[in-house]
Amino acid sequence: MAHPKRKISKTRRDKRRTHYKASTPQIATCPTTGEAHLYHRAHWHEGKLYYRGQVVIDATEDENAA
């Protein structure tokens, strides 16, 4: 196994890691409901699952049928 010849200091290690940053997620607004959600993700609003402004799953129909 390879071993380092010298200990790498915390400062040198942290300098290397400065490029790894957490980016802020992009938030979209649904044109139908006005709900804020992540891009390319479905979101729930009042018992319905929306994706790209259209209802994908309607949970209120399931409750009424049962």
Domain residue ranges of the chain, discontinuous segments joined by +: 37-66
pLDDT score, position 55: 92
pLDDT score, position 59: 86
pLDDT score, position 19: 85
pLDDT score, position 39: 92
pLDDT score, position 21: 81
- In order along the chain (66 residues), what is the average pLDDT of each group of 10 residues? 90 88 88 91 92 90 66
pLDDT score, position 66: 58
Rounded distance between C-alpha atoms, residue 35 and residue 14, angstroms:
39
Please, what's the b/e burial string for 3-42 (b: 16 or more CB within 10 A of its CB; e: otherwise)? Answer: eeeeeeeeeeeeeeeeeeeeeeeeeeebeebeeebeeeee
Contact in structure between 59 and 48 (CB atoms under 8 Å)? yes
pLDDT score, position 23: 85
